[in-house]
Amino acid sequence: MIGLAVRARKATTGTAICINDIKKNRIKLLFIASDCSNNTREKVKGAIGDRNMKVIEIFSKEQLGSIIGKDEISVVGIKELNFAKGISDKITKEN
């Protein structure tokens, strides 16, 4: 479903773009690669601050990239609420 959200343009990929969308309260669900750099993680978490946003850190950069059709990606933000709920529910059920 993450790949579908990206193809439907209901997701943002990449650290800088995701941080920008976080600050504009556009992101409903955020994926941070479990093996991303500490600097990236700190920047993203700093942008989140006290916003009520679900963050999932179970995929590696390679796995996230594969899901969306790229080599590696550290951050993916889901912007549409229904996609975010569906993805979150599916991940919760599987884990």
15-23 helix and 38-48 helix, angle to the nearest 10 degrees: 10
The range of the structural domain enclosing residue 78 comes to 2-94
pLDDT band at 94 (very low <50, low <70, confident <90, very high): confident
How many domains is the chain partitioned into structurally? 1
pLDDT band at 95 (very low <50, low <70, confident <90, very high): low
User: Rounded mean pLDDT of 42-55?
Assistant: 94
User: Rounded mean pLDDT of 3-19?
Assistant: 95
Q: Which pTM value belongs to this model?
A: 0.93
Per the prediction, the chain carries an average pLDDT of 94
User: Rounded mean pLDDT of 29-38?
Assistant: 97
State the CATH number of the domain containing residue 88.
3.30.1330.30
Q: What is the pLDDT of residue 8?
A: 94
How is the beta sheet containing 29-32 ordered, strand by strand?
Answer: 11-13, 75-78, 29-32, 54-56
- Identity of residue 14: G
At residue 83, φ and ψ (nearest 5 deg) are: -60, -45
Q: What is the pLDDT of residue 54?
A: 94
Q: Nearest-CA neighbor of 95 among 59, 46, 44, 47?
A: 59
pLDDT band at 93 (very low <50, low <70, confident <90, very high): confident
Q: Could you give the C-alpha distances from 85 to 5, 21, 27, 32, 90, in angstroms and in order?
A: 12, 18, 12, 17, 8
